[in-house]
Amino acid sequence: MSGRIRLVVQLLVLCFLSTLNPTLNAQEKSLAATPPMGWNSWNHFAEKINARTIRMQADAMVSSGLKDAGYVYINIDDTWEGKRDDKGFIHPNEKFPDMKALADYVHSKGLKLGIYSSPGPKTCAGYEGSLGHEEQDAQTYADWGIDYLKYDWCQSTGTAEQMKAAYTKMRNALKNTGRPTVFSLCQYGWANVWEWGAEVGGNLWRTTGDIEDNYDSMSRIGFSQSGHEKYAAPGHWNDPDMLEVGNGGMNEDEYRTHMSLWCVLAAPLIAGNDLTKMTPYTQEILTNREVLAVNQDPLGKQGYPVVQEGPFEVWMKPMQDGSIVAGLFNRSKEQDRMTVQFSHIGLSAKAAVRDLWLHKAVGEYDDSFSAYVPAHGVVLVRLKAVAR
Ligand code: GLA
């Protein structure tokens, strides 16, 4: 090849690569541009999960209105894994006879399918992990049509460097398949994962141990998220674990607190209840459009506390349109009157206040807004400055 022709060929290759890269980058960025919304099998079904139940949850996500409200991922958690064949490829166990057919079914509903594995030799429930088979597993998931991977550490120890290496390895394997896949890191917040989760390709990373369906567990996790807010942004989110709304261990006020707090935190909203059996209030809590809009706000700011006085906490979340969402949380066992001072949430003017659970404009206020807040409950308001 003459020098001139070689130069032209090199230039053409460069042009091609430069068109390819921005496309890939744009695609990566648009994954989880707002906190992922979906459903996961673990909190309600644990190991009692199979393909038939997954199909029923997908059907219910559509018929209950969750899909229209923005929920899209149907995620299979642990215990789907079977054995590897003699070439090392993983196969599902008898509970999931045909993973590709299941993915096709979920996709036919306009939804996406998620799966679960571990970077270790075994998953937390003792099933086959991905160690030493990362590329093969990523390719298998892509061939099935998987859109989301929760990758759960499940080992008793590990240094930050070991964790980073393991997550990077799977991130690269997923990337090499060319299939956009949401990458969910699960290692319970060890080694300050929020500081490096984005760098190893995480779209979300668990910040805590497992949530349980009771007020103590939920509130301990939810109210301890302060300080992580600077690590959340479009494309990558702090994950204080999946929702328990509708599982029966909390009352309506407590579940409203759970949902409000997760929305203010810009946390992934992965429902964990049986979608085929929802009471009207569970459905209303999961699909309240004005509350979900707080979570899905495109600015992607994670909220934080501005007042923490004993059991009374006021949290704020800045919204893209310049309004401020304030959550008045009463962690005590008695109803109480709570106040948000506008100076605490960066508002100096008069503000129009809208109650997001009641779908009601409650009026214009100067300097502060007060409301009665039920025990373990919340009043969630959106405030917009108006000229005095
Ligand atoms: C860990 C995770 C849970 C769930 C189980 C499955 O405990 O934190 O969310 O995935 O493993 O075994």
Average pLDDT estimate for 99-106: 98
Task: From 246, 248, 250, 291, select the one nearest 267 (Cα to Cα).
Answer: 291
| CA dist., res. 207 & res. 27, Å (int) | 26
Distances (CA, A) of 350 to 228, 343, 363, 368, 383: 30, 11, 10, 9, 9
Only one residue has tokens 């909203």, namely 269
pLDDT, residue 16, reads 45
pLDDT-derived band at 388, boundaries 50, 70, 90: low
Cβ atoms of 101 and 321 within 8 Å: the answer is: no
Counting residues of the chain whose pLDDT is more than 90, the rounded percentage is 91
Residue nearest ligand 1's atom 9 by CA: 210
Angle subtended at Cα 116 by Cα 239 and Cα 96, rounded to the nearest 5 degrees: 140
Residue of the CA atom closest to atom 11 of ligand 1: 124
- Convert the pLDDT of each residue in 328-374 to its tens digit: 999 999 999 999 999 999 999 899 999 999 999 999 999 999 999 99
Which atom, in ligand 1's list, is nearest to the CA of 150?
Answer: 10
Burial of 172 (0-12, 13-18, 19+ CB in 10 A): middle
Which ligand 1 atom minimizes the distance to the CA of 124? 12
Please say whether the beta carbons of 329 and 312 come within 8 A.
Answer: yes
CB 349 within 8 A of CB 387: yes
Closest to 38 (Cα-Cα) out of 148, 142, 167, 152 = 148
Closest atom, ligand 1, to C-alpha of 125: 12
334 CA → ligand 1 middle, Å: 34
Q: Does residue 122 line the site of ligand 1, with CB under 6 A? A: no
From the list 59, 143, 210, 253, the catalytic residue is 210
Query: Residue 146 above 80 pLDDT?
Result: yes
The span from the CA of 99 to the CA of 140, in Å, is: 10
> Average pLDDT of 92-112?
98
* Tokens (6 digits) for 375: 């025990």
Q: Which residues of 90-123 are buried (b: 16+ CB within 10 A; e: fewer)?
A: bebeebbeebeebbebbeebebbbbbbbbbbeeb
Tell me the helix, strand and coil percentages in the chain, rounded to 5.
35, 25, 40
Residue nearest to atom 3 of ligand 1 (CA): 210
pLDDT for 15:
42
To test the pocket of ligand 1, the residue of 47, 80, 186, 212 to mutate (highest count of ligand atoms within 8 Å of its CB) is: 186
Nearest-atom number in ligand 1 for the CA of 79 is 12
Centre of ligand 1 to C-alpha 46, Å, is: 9
In 187-318, which ranges are continuous DSSP H helix?
193-196, 215-222, 252-264, 280-287, 289-295
In short, whether 77's Cβ falls inside 6 Å of ligand 1 is: yes
137 lines ligand 1 (CB under 6 A): no
Residue 146, φ and ψ in degrees, nearest 5: -80, 140
Q: With 50 as the cut, is the pLDDT of residue 382 above it?
A: yes
Of the listed ranges 12-21, 188-197, 205-214, 241-250, the least confidently predicted one is 12-21
pLDDT over threshold 90, residue 17: no
Confidence at residue 349, expressed as pLDDT on a 0 to 100 scale: 82
Name 325's bridge partners: 317, 382
* 77 is an active site residue: no
- Spatial CA neighbour of 75 closest among 137, 130, 147: 147
pLDDT band at 387 (very low <50, low <70, confident <90, very high): confident
313 lines ligand 1 (CB under 6 A): no
| Mean pLDDT, residues 56-68 taken together | 98
Spell out the residues 6+ positions from residue 69 whose beta carbon is closer than 8 angstroms to its own. Answer: 37, 286, 287, 289, 292
Distance 187 CA to ligand 1 centre (A): 9
Clarify whether 210 is annotated catalytic. Answer: yes
Ligand 1: residue of 80, 124, 128 to mutate (most ligand atoms within 8 A of CB) is 124
- Mean pLDDT, residues 205-212: 98
Whether the full predicted model's pTM is greater than 0.75, yes or no, is: yes
Does residue 22 surpass a pLDDT of 50? no
**Which residue matches tokens 């799966």?**
115
**Confidence check: pLDDT of 58 > 60:** yes
Is the per-residue pLDDT at 9 higher than 70? no
φ, ψ dihedrals at 215, nearest 5°: -60, -40
Per-residue pLDDT, averaged over 62-71, amounts to 98
CA distance 204 to 151: 11
168-192: pLDDT as tens digits: 999 999 999 999 999 999 999 999 9
Q: Give the whole-angstrom CA distance, residue 326 versus residue 330.
A: 13
259, 222 in Cβ contact below 8 A? Answer: no
Q: Rounded to whole angstroms, how far apart are CA atoms 224 and 265?
A: 11
- Helix/strand/coil for 336: strand
Mean pLDDT along residues 67-82: 98
Q: How sure is the predictor about 30, in pLDDT bands with cuts at 50, 70 and 90?
A: confident
Atom 4 of ligand 1 has which residue's CA nearest to it? 42
User: What is the CA(116)–ligand 1 centre distance, in A?
Assistant: 9
**Predicted pLDDT of residue 25:** 47
